[in-house]
Copies of this chain bind each other. A is one copy, B any other.
C-alpha cells in the first residue's frame, strides 16, 4: 500500500502501462476483505493517476466519455488498497475497500451477479439496496 505521506513523485509508472490505441486499459476491481471480484471497468492515464493521488478508485466511463469517481453519485466509494499491473502491462487491478458493501448500480455487492447454469444465466445475488434508494435523482444506469 502506498502511503499518502510519501507519494510517487514521477509519472514514470504511468508510462509503463501499455495503453491501447484509444488510451485505455481494462481494470478489474477486487474487494480487499473478501477477495470477490466487484467489477470490470476502464481507465485512462488521468483516471489511473487520480486513483493514486485521491486514494480511491477512479475510472474512465466509456459510455459517458468522462472521468468517473466511483461513488460520486451513489456514495459507494472504493477506497484504494493496492494497484496491480499484469505481465503484459496492459491490464490493471484495483484492490479496494468497498464502502457500503455495494459495488453494482443494481444495488448488489458485485457486478458479477450472474452465473451460467444449465438453464442459462442465473442471478446469484440479492439486491441489498434498491437503485431508487441509492440514486436520489433516479439514476439507474451504470455510473
Q: Is the interface of A mostly helix, strand, loop or mixed?
A: loop
Q: With A and B bound together, what is the CA distance between A55 and B13 in angstroms?
A: 38
A66-106 contact mask (Cβ, 8 Å, vs B): 1 or 0: 00000000000000001111111001010000000000111
Contact residues of A with B, CB < 8 Å? 2-3, 6-8, 10, 12-13, 16, 26, 28, 30, 34-37, 39-40, 52, 82-88, 91, 93, 104-106, 108, 111-121, 142
B13 near A26 with CB under 8 A, answer: no
Report the minimal beta-carbon distance from A104 to chain B, rounded to whole angstroms.
5
> Other than the known A16-B120, A85-B114, A87-B106, what 9 A-B pairs have Cβ atoms closer than 8 Å?
A12-B120, A16-B121, A26-B26, A28-B37, A28-B40, A39-B91, A82-B115, A84-B113, A87-B104
Whole-angstrom distance between the Cβ of A26 and the nearest chain B Cβ = 5
Q: How far is the CA of A114 from the CA of B87 in the complex (A)?
A: 8
Residues of B within 8 A of A111 (CB): 86-88, 91
